[in-house]
Structure 1
């Protein structure tokens, strides 16, 4: 699977699994009830989904211009760290507001989410690529002549 369909399936599947896992955990940790935690999870998911589309477009734009396009472990780590790092900056205000906690507590909460999602993103992306194959931007090496033109 390639192109826009790949991106849509990847993003929606990623977020659906995340909401299913996070809602009960947030409800348990903050003792706010599953509906309240589920609403936060959905808001976090919608924010992350929008960021996912933007970030993956930018990452693949960069990736297409590399001489070596293979998705190595290091490249997967870079992808996960960049995605989650950007997401932390976006979500702290939302978490603080929704849970009515300080920005510091929201940052700590978000950092906990970062640790979870860092490993989740790494495993999910690897598994997704195994099932659906890697995108064209990550298939093999290209010659220096191909990058110049």
Structure 2
């Protein structure tokens, strides 16, 4: 949860500064970068916790990585759509 908040805060601030649109390419990049950052922490932690090597920990994480890569993409797609819909709805209410 903490990584999700921190990563999205950084990603959104970069988006505000650069002005890029969140098309499918950016959403894919967002999901891949999110998972890569998470793996940098989780794989060494899993290796230490389970007392296994880093390659073994990576093998264990492969299924989770694929699942959460798709999940991160879809979650942020739905989140952005819902946020835009709510923002547009509030514009009409204020009139």
TM-score range, shorter chain: 0.7 to 0.9
TM-score normalised to the size of structure 2?
A: 0.75
How many equivalent residue pairs? 86
After superposition, where does 1:35-46 map in structure 2 within 5 Å?
Answer: none
Q: By how many angstroms is 1:65 displaced?
A: 1.6
- Quick one: structure 1 residues 129 and 67, their matched pair in 2 at CA, closer, same or farther if it must change by over 3 Å? closer
Alignment check: 8 A CA contact 1:88 1:111 kept: no
Q: By how many angstroms is 1:123 displaced?
A: 1.1
Partner of residue 7 from structure 2, selected from 55, 73, 86: 55
The separation in 2 between residues aligned to 1:54 and 1:67, in whole angstroms, is 19
Q: By how many angstroms is 1:97 displaced?
A: 2.7
The separation in 1 between residues aligned to 2:50 and 2:84, in whole angstroms, is 39
The separation in 2 between residues aligned to 1:131 and 1:63, in whole angstroms, is 18
Indicate the residue corresponding to 1:143 in structure 2.
none
Quote the RMSD (CA, aligned, Å). 2.1
Q: By how many angstroms is 1:75 displaced?
A: 0.8
Indicate the residue corresponding to 1:132 in structure 2.
83
After superposition, where does 1:46-125 map in structure 2 within 5 Å?
Answer: 49-68=1-20, 70-125=21-76
- Quick one: structure 1 residues 56 and 67, their matched pair in 2 at CA, closer, same or farther if it must change by over 3 Å? closer
Unaligned runs of 5+ in 1: 1-48, 137-149
The separation in 2 between residues aligned to 1:79 and 1:56, in whole angstroms, is 9
Unaligned runs of 5+ in 2: 88-95
- Quick one: structure 1 residues 114 and 59, their matched pair in 2 at CA, closer, same or farther if it must change by over 3 Å? same
TM-score normalised to the size of structure 1?
A: 0.51
Structure with the larger helix share: 2
